[in-house]
Amino acid sequence: MSMTSTLQQRIMIQEHFAHEQMPRELDQAEIAQYKSRIKALLKERDACLISHYYTDAVVQEITEETGGCISDSLEMARFGSVRPEQTLIVAGVKFMGETAKILSPEKRIIMPTIEATCSLDIGCPIDEFSAFCDQHPDHVVVVYANTSAAVKARADWVVTSSIAVDVVNHLEAQGKKIIWAPDRHLGNYVQKQTGIEMLMWHGSCIVHEEFQAKGILEMQKMFPEAAILVHPESPEAVIAIADAVGSTTQIIEAAVRMDNRQFIVATDRGIFYKMQQAAPGKEFIAAPTSGSGATCRSCAHCPWMAMNGLQNILSSLENFRDEVLVDQQLMVKARIPLQRMLDFAKGMKGS
C-alpha cells in the first residue's frame, strides 16, 4: 500500500508549519527566568513534566531539574500513570499525549503545543487505514506506537520498536497473518529479523528516512574507530551497515555497553543529551543525511519535536490551553492493544 500524494502533501504542509512555529532561541538570562517560573508553576499546579529523548536539550534539562521523566513514548506514558500529580505536561508530539491520556484517563494531559505531530501519524489516517484492514479481515493488525488513538483503537496490538520483533514472532507462532503499520522501514526490519512476511502500510519518518548509507560510510573514514548506531526507522541500506540497531533506549544502552569511544548515530540528535550523560567521555557524531544544507530534511532533528520549548511549556502551565482530549469510547478501545503490549513486555521481563 503506497502513501498517496495527498498524504505526502499534508506531511509537507505540516512540516512547514512546524518550522514556522519553532520557539525562538533564548539567551542564558531568559532561560534562567523561564526555568524558575516553570519550577514554581509545576508545584503550584500539581503538575509533572514528561519529555521525549528527541526534544531540545533545554527542555530535557528542565524536565530533569524538576524530577520529571525523559524517555521513549511508552515509558513516558507509564511514568505519567504512576505519578501522584494530577496534571502531566507532555513535551513531545501529539500521539504521545494521547497515549498518556489513554493510560491515565483520570489525569489532565497538557502539551506545550498540540500542533506538534509526526509524519507516521499523519501518513496513517484512520479512514484509509480502517478500509485497508477491512479488506484483510483474516489478519491481525499490529501498529507502531507512533499512531493516533483512533488507529490504535482499530488495532489488535500496539508495539514499540524495542518489542516489535518479539510480538511478531509470538503472533507467527500462533499461526497469525499480520498487517503492519505505519512505518515501512521498521516493518522491513522486523520482516528481516523474523523471516515473516507482513502486509505493510507505507508510512515513514521524515527524519530517519533521510539517513544515507553512503554518507555514513564516508564519515566513518574520518572516524575509523567509530561504531554506527541506527534506529530501525532508517532505510534498509543504513540498517545493513549498523554495528547496533535499536530503539532510542536500546541505542543509549549500546553506547554505554560498547567499547568504542566514538559513535556515528543515525537517529534524532536530541538523543545526544541523554547519551552524553549515560556514556560520559564518549563522543557522539550525528550521521549525515541526504539533504545538503539548511532544509529541515537535512538536520536529523524532528521539526515537530523542536516545537517544544521553555516558552510554550510555561504558557501551557499558565493557561492549560493545549489539553489532550480523547473520545471516551476510543480510549477504552485503544487501551486494549496498548495493555496487551504492556502485559507482553512484563511477561518477557519475568521470563
Question: Which residue ranges make up the site for ligand SF4 (CB under 6 A)?
Answer: 54, 93, 118-120, 146, 205-207, 268, 302, 304-305
User: What's the min distance (Å) between Cβ of 11 and ligand SF4?
Assistant: 9
CA separation, residue 192 to residues 136, 184, 240, 246 (Å): 22, 12, 11, 14
Of 220 and 247, the one with the shorter C-beta distance to ligand SF4 is 247
Which long-range CB contacts under 8 A does 26-31 form with residues at least 24 apart? 26/58, 26/309, 26/310, 26/311, 31/58, 31/310
Phi and psi torsions of 179, nearest 5°: -100, 135
Of 93 and 266, the one with the shorter C-beta distance to ligand SF4 is 93
Phi and psi torsions of 71, nearest 5°: -165, -165
Of 42 and 158, the one with the shorter C-beta distance to ligand SF4 is 158
Of 37 and 202, the one with the shorter C-beta distance to ligand SF4 is 202
User: What's the min distance (Å) between Cβ of 271 and ligand SF4?
Assistant: 10
Phi and psi torsions of 299, nearest 5°: -105, -5
User: What's the min distance (Å) between Cβ of 226 and ligand SF4?
Assistant: 22
Integer Cα distance of 96 and 324 in angstroms: 10
User: What's the min distance (Å) between Cβ of 332 and ligand SF4?
Assistant: 25
Integer Cα distance of 30 and 275 in angstroms: 26
Of 35 and 231, the one with the shorter C-beta distance to ligand SF4 is 231
CA separation, residue 336 to residues 100, 166, 323 (Å): 14, 18, 23
Cβ atoms within 10 Å, residue 32 = 11
User: What's the min distance (Å) between Cβ of 53 and ligand SF4?
Assistant: 10
